[in-house]
């Protein structure tokens, strides 16, 4: 005889145990092929099934959040990159529309291995744009690594054989690799050789690469020697060039910092406080 729990009752109509909450059956009837007759094993009622479904979904969400947090810690090695998000974009740079578009079209970009080459003058927002793409995709559960060659070279320094291969292979685990500030590293023969290895392995594993650089497109298209040429050729083949022209956003930022500082050290008047509240600043 099956024990009846507090939230159950025995329905005389079918002789089975039912749930008090949803009225669904918690027993099922199965014919006994050996002895004849039937037996009545336990089963879950609809509200128990629903509770289990919710528990699994909550667990999945928890795991997803944990995975994203871990990937961010791995993929955004510099703390400041956490602040490079669409939410922190002041809307001053029209090129940012391209970053939104890239993120929105990510499945196609990934499938067709389309990367970006962000080039232009210092302080025009290239790293910020790349960082926004990194954060937006990481939030969508995509493995992204944003790094730069000096960091990679420091990591590779003194690494040989299997360790070196394992590290280079690990870069291929990321669906998107972002190399910030190409061209700032010392161009020794060793450095160029490592750079080529990275770019070439990315090229061969058919996964997208985003590069930011202060170099001019002209310099990339007319490299000084063969060592540079084979690196730049690979990049130009797979990365769509986007020019960052004109405005220096770092100067803008410096100006707004000055303005904010002025506000902070100026004794507030009634009308000033009003303006600040209306704008929702501070």
C-alpha closest to that of 42 among 25, 65, 56: 25
Give the residue, chosen from 19, 137, 179, 199, that forms a contact with Zn ion under the rule CB under 5 A: 19
Helices then strands, counting H and E runs in the chain, come out as 11, 9
Shorter beta-carbon distance to Zn ion: residue 6 or 218: 6
Q: Can you tell me the distance from the alpha carbon of 221 to that of 232, in angstroms, rounded to the nearest whole number? A: 7
**Which span (21-29, 68-76, 189-197, 224-232) binds Zn ion, by CB under 5 A?**
21-29
17 binds Zn ion per the rule CB under 5 A = no
E strands, the chain, in order: 8-11, 16-19, 30-31, 38-39, 115-120, 144-148, 176-182, 209-213, 239-244
Instruction: Compute the Cα dihedral for 61, 62, 67, 72 and give only its sign.
Output: positive
Shorter beta-carbon distance to Zn ion: residue 22 or 43: 22
Shorter beta-carbon distance to Zn ion: residue 21 or 155: 21
Q: Can you tell me the distance from the alpha carbon of 187 to that of 208, in angstroms, rounded to the nearest whole number? A: 24
Shorter beta-carbon distance to Zn ion: residue 47 or 114: 47
Instruction: Compute the Cα dihedral for 127, 133, 139, 143 and give only its sign.
Output: negative
Cβ–Cβ under 8 Å, residues 278 and 152: no
Q: Can you tell me the distance from the alpha carbon of 132 to that of 91, in angstroms, rounded to the nearest whole number? A: 13
Cβ 13 to Zn ion shortest distance, Å = 17
Shorter beta-carbon distance to Zn ion: residue 50 or 141: 50
Q: Which residue is nearest to Zn ion (CB)?
A: 19
**Which span (15-23, 30-38, 77-85, 186-194) binds Zn ion, by CB under 5 A?**
15-23
| Residues contacting Zn ion: total by CB under 5 A | 6
**Which span (16-24, 74-82, 203-211, 254-262) binds Zn ion, by CB under 5 A?**
16-24
Cβ 55 to Zn ion shortest distance, Å = 15
Shorter beta-carbon distance to Zn ion: residue 45 or 117: 45
Question: What is residue 89's three-state secondary structure?
Answer: coil
Strand 176-182 to 144-148 pairing: parallel
22 binds Zn ion per the rule CB under 5 A = yes
Give the residue, chosen from 4, 5, 11, 21, that forms a contact with Zn ion under the rule CB under 5 A: 21
By CB under 5 A, the residues from 39 to 98 that bind Zn ion are 45, 47
Shorter beta-carbon distance to Zn ion: residue 22 or 229: 22
Cβ–Cβ under 8 Å, residues 75 and 146: yes
Residues that bind Zn ion (CB under 5 A): 19, 21-22, 24, 45, 47
């Amino acid at each position: 005889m099956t024990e009846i729990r507090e939230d159950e009752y025995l329905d005389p109509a079918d002789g089975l145990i039912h749930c008090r909450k949803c009225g669904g059956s918690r027993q099922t009837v199965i014919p006994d092929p050996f002895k004849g007759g039937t037996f009545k094993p336990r089963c879950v009622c609809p509200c128990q099934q629903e509770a289990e479904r919710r528990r699994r979904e909550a667990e999945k969400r928890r795991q997803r959040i944990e995975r994203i947090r871990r990937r961010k810690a791995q993929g955004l090695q510099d703390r400041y990159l956490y602040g490079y998000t669409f939410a922190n974009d002041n809307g001053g740079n029209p090129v940012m529309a391209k970053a939104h578009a890239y993120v929105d079209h990510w499945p196609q970009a990934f499938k067709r291995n389309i990367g970006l080459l962000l080039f232009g003058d210092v302080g025009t927002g290239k790293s910020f744009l790349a960082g926004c793409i990194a954060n937006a995709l990481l939030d969508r559960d995509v493995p992204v690594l944003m790094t730069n060659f000096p960091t990679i070279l420091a990591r590779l320094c003194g690494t040989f054989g299997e360790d070196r291969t394992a590290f280079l292979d690990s870069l291929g685990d990321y669906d998107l690799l972002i190399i910030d500030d190409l061209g700032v590293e010392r161009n020794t023969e060793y450095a160029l050789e490592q750079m080529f290895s990275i770019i070439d392995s990315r090229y061969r594993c058919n996964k997208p690469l985003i590069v930011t650089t202060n170099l001019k497109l002209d310099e990339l298209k007319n490299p000084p020697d063969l060592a540079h040429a084979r690196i730049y050729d690979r990049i130009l083949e797979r990365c769509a060039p986007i020019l960052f022209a004109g405005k220096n956003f770092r100067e803008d930022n410096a100006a707004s910092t000055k303005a904010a500082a002025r506000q902070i050290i100026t004794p507030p008047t009634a009308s000033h406080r009003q303006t600040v509240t209306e704008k929702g600043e501070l």
